[in-house]
Structure 1
Amino acid sequence: MTELRLQRLSYGTRLRDADLTARPGETVGLVGPNGSGKTTLLRCVYGTLTPTAGRALLDGDDLTALGPKARARRIGVVPQEGATEFELTVRELVALGRSPHKRFWEGDDASDLARTEAALARVGIAELADRPYPTLSGGERQRALVARALVQEPALLVLDEPTNHLDIRYQLEVLCLVSELGTTNLLALHDLNLAAAYCDRLVVLERGRVVAEGTPADVLTSALLRAVYGVEAEVIPHPRTGTPTVFYLPGPPLEREPSAM
């Protein structure tokens, strides 16, 4: 099991001195308004951005010291938008997840094919294996991208808005799947009620800084929502699950203070 630890991680003015820990097997959700730094933080973790200060450690190893292939062997990524311009079948797309474990001239062997088929079955899209990826629905595409990440056999799974543009059924299916994988997970979410239901802990970002961290019950308060999001809301335990549920009150949004927290 894998632990991710961020120590004063910064990227210019977009992310400043972020501390974060995702413990082995834990699902940590990043929440905050648009432009708060969630995607920047994730990109610093999986390597499309290089931090300007601080460190990102995976089981004690500095991620910036790892080459792209070594990093990809340990971190699976489900981006906000998957590429649709290539006419790959779903099986071919998922099989690309084996690339970090192979030399560039090597083809797929029986073991690679078996892992691909197993990942397709695990996310429930085995019957779509021969379909062109661009023809899939939004929920099916997200499942295929999760399968591609699983084929990498990562210790850490990073997901950027995995429920974006999905209807509620697919949102629940994707988050349910992620929560059952057994990997350490770091994901950005906009929907606070989904974050409360599926994340062990939440990290709140506001203007590039971490302003709160803890369990959903500790973090999601009326005061925080007023300060960070500029909205009036009540937070009440769900009558069946006990998870905090946010009810937004009607009315115009509030003026946000220059420094919310």
Structure 2
Amino acid sequence: MTTLRTESLSYTTPQGRTLLHDITLGAADGETVGLVGPNGSGKTTLLRCVYAALRPTAGRVLLDGADLHALPVKARARRVATVPQDADAGGIELSVHEIVAMGRSPHHRFWEADTAADRALVREALARVGIADLAGRPFPSLSGGERQRALVARALVQQPDVVVLDEPTNHLDIRYQLEILALVRELGTVNLLALHDLNLAAYYCDRICVLSAGRVVASGPPADVLTADLLAEVYGVNAEVGVHPATGAPTVVYLPPTGPRTPPAPRLPTS
């Protein structure tokens, strides 16, 4: 069984600003853990420490009890796949198929070409995220949502033990938001993802970790964590939290600060 754990993890920038304070959380095979919190709460910084784009200034990221940052880069890449928040093309002129096939690189030596099995994995992943028809298109020509799905496909062909996703529903319409999150849950991997949409987090995450100013302020099952009091404290909003009759998941309804919505005044006839 694969386990992922951050242990008393903190991160301070070279300029001396501390963005994460003593973060401890964990997940195991088949679990989807969501990070939620307002902008600037530390979600992306925490994920970047987990997938080793940043090195914590204190604490550790443990994969099966071993320090993840001590693993060789290629060994780490075989086990941890990342879907970043920014799906910008970055000037890359590769095709969608080639971008997705990059997920196989941790499994090959530098000079080895993709095999027939690799190409089959790429085709399957493209089909699973709904962009099989875009395989030959240049990656920069895709819309933001199409790029996001391509990056999810790249993570799938990596066949990792851990999938880290930073706002994976960015740029996606509602259908693909639901399909991508359902797909992530079906993988059986350790899934750690940041989400802004609390209703999606409540439905698709087994546990939710709420961050505020770089600290964990609540962690647990969605029904225990998502309360009106917590949303008022962390987000500064009024909300009602109920249980959806069809899904059984917590449902958040945001309330305007001025109370019930008043209908617009009737328009006066013009002469």
TM-score range, shorter chain: over 0.9
Note the 1:27-176 alignment, pairs <5 A: 27-84=32-89, 85-176=91-182
* TM-fit CA distance, 1:150: 1.2
Unaligned runs of 5+ in 1: 253-261
* TM-fit CA distance, 1:100: 1.1
Instruction: Give CA deviations for 1:36-86 in whole Å, capped at 9, x if unaligned.
Output: 110010000101100001111111121110122111110010000124121
Instruction: Give CA deviations for 1:204-233 in whole Å, capped at 9, x if unaligned.
Output: 011101110001000000110111111111
* TM-fit CA distance, 1:115: 2.1
Match of 1:246, SS? strand
Distance of 1:29 and 1:39 partners within structure 2: 12
Task: Name the counterpart of 2:187.
Answer: 181
Task: Name the counterpart of 2:3.
Answer: 3
Instruction: Look up the equivalent residue of 1:61 and give its one-letter code.
Output: A
* Contact map agreement 1:89 1:132 (CA 8 A) in 2: yes
Instruction: Look up the equivalent residue of 1:10 and give its one-letter code.
Output: S
* TM-fit CA distance, 1:117: 2.0
Deviates more, 1:162-171 or 1:94-103: 162-171
Instruction: Look up the equivalent residue of 1:45 and give its one-letter code.
Output: V
* Contact map agreement 1:2 1:25 (CA 8 A) in 2: no
- The one of 210, 217, 220 equivalent to 1:214 is 220
* Contact map agreement 1:142 1:174 (CA 8 A) in 2: no
- The one of 234, 240, 260 equivalent to 1:228 is 234
Task: Name the counterpart of 2:202.
Answer: 196
Distance of 2:208 and 2:94 partners within structure 1: 36
Instruction: Look up the equivalent residue of 2:47 and give its one-letter code.
Output: L
Closer/same/farther in 2, CA of residues 148 and 164 from structure 1, 3 Å limit? same
Distance of 2:116 and 2:246 partners within structure 1: 46
Instruction: Give CA deviations for 1:180-226 in whole Å, capped at 9, x if unaligned.
Output: 22221100000101100111100001110111000100000011011
For normalisation by structure 1, the TM-score amounts to 0.92
Instruction: Look up the equivalent residue of 1:7 and give its one-letter code.
Output: E
Task: Name the counterpart of 1:14.
Answer: 19
* Contact map agreement 1:32 1:228 (CA 8 A) in 2: yes
* Contact map agreement 1:90 1:130 (CA 8 A) in 2: yes
RMSD: 1.3
- The one of 257, 261, 265 equivalent to 1:251 is 257
Distance of 2:109 and 2:150 partners within structure 1: 23
For normalisation by structure 2, the TM-score amounts to 0.89
Match of 2:183, SS? helix
Distance of 1:31 and 1:38 partners within structure 2: 7
Distance of 1:98 and 1:241 partners within structure 2: 37
How many residue pairs were aligned? 252
Instruction: Give CA deviations for 1:135-165 in whole Å, capped at 9, x if unaligned.
Output: 2233322221111111111000000011123
Match of 1:14, SS? strand
Distance of 1:222 and 1:171 partners within structure 2: 25
* Contact map agreement 1:5 1:22 (CA 8 A) in 2: yes
Instruction: Give CA deviations for 1:106-159 in whole Å, capped at 9, x if unaligned.
Output: 221223222222222332322221122222233322221111111111000000
Match of 2:82, SS? strand
Unaligned runs of 5+ in 2: 13-17, 259-271
